[in-house]
Amino acid sequence: MTVILSPLVGVVLPLADVPDQLFAQGAMGPGVAVEPPLEIVDVVSPVEGTLLQVFPHAFVVVTDEGVGVLVHLGLDTVQLQGEGFTPYAAKGDRVAAGTPVIAYDVPAIRAAGLASVVPVVVLERSADDVSLHAAEGAEITPGTPLLSV
């Protein structure tokens, strides 16, 4: 079993509440979302593994067991072309759970009129494979168990 930890501080939301159809309908995969506080937050790796992709607004980390986790910082944030994000790690880096990957400027994202919610999605798995650990509405910190596969 792989335990996926929260990559940031915030409040747990069901994926269905994310105002983006692909995430809300689970088209990207099963998971949960975290609404961050209105401050700059460090977003950390939710599992130990290798960074398969690192974009300014999102990253994918894959465990040695092949579990891929997508952490997407805000919605439609790709259009900001890196504004509001400071990467600490790069594609191909090996990371431990809790290793900072990106600094996320939540006030800048909200000032741009975009949603700051962070979907945390398990790739290439069905909802039956994933269990939720954190209760909806719970306040969490990095390292709090969110999901398991």
Proportion of the chain in helix, strand, coil states, percent, rounded to 5: 15, 40, 45
Closest C-alpha to 2, from 58, 68, 59: 68
| Cα–Cα distance, 57 to 91 (Å, whole number) | 13
23: how many CB neighbours lie within 10 A of its CB? 22
Q: Residues, the chain, total?
A: 149
Q: Which residues are catalytic?
A: 72
Query: What is the model's pTM?
Result: 0.97
Report all structural domains of the chain as residue ranges with CATH numbers, in order of start: 3-148 (2.70.70.10)
Q: What is the pLDDT along the chain (149 residues), one digit of tens a residue?
A: 999 999 999 999 999 999 999 999 999 999 999 999 999 999 999 999 999 999 999 999 999 999 999 999 999 999 999 999 999 999 999 999 999 999 999 999 999 999 999 999 999 999 999 999 998 999 999 999 999 99
Closest CA to 99 of 112, 109, 108, 90: 90
Amino acid type, 11: V
Q: Which of 106, 149, 142 is nearest to 6 (CA)?
A: 142
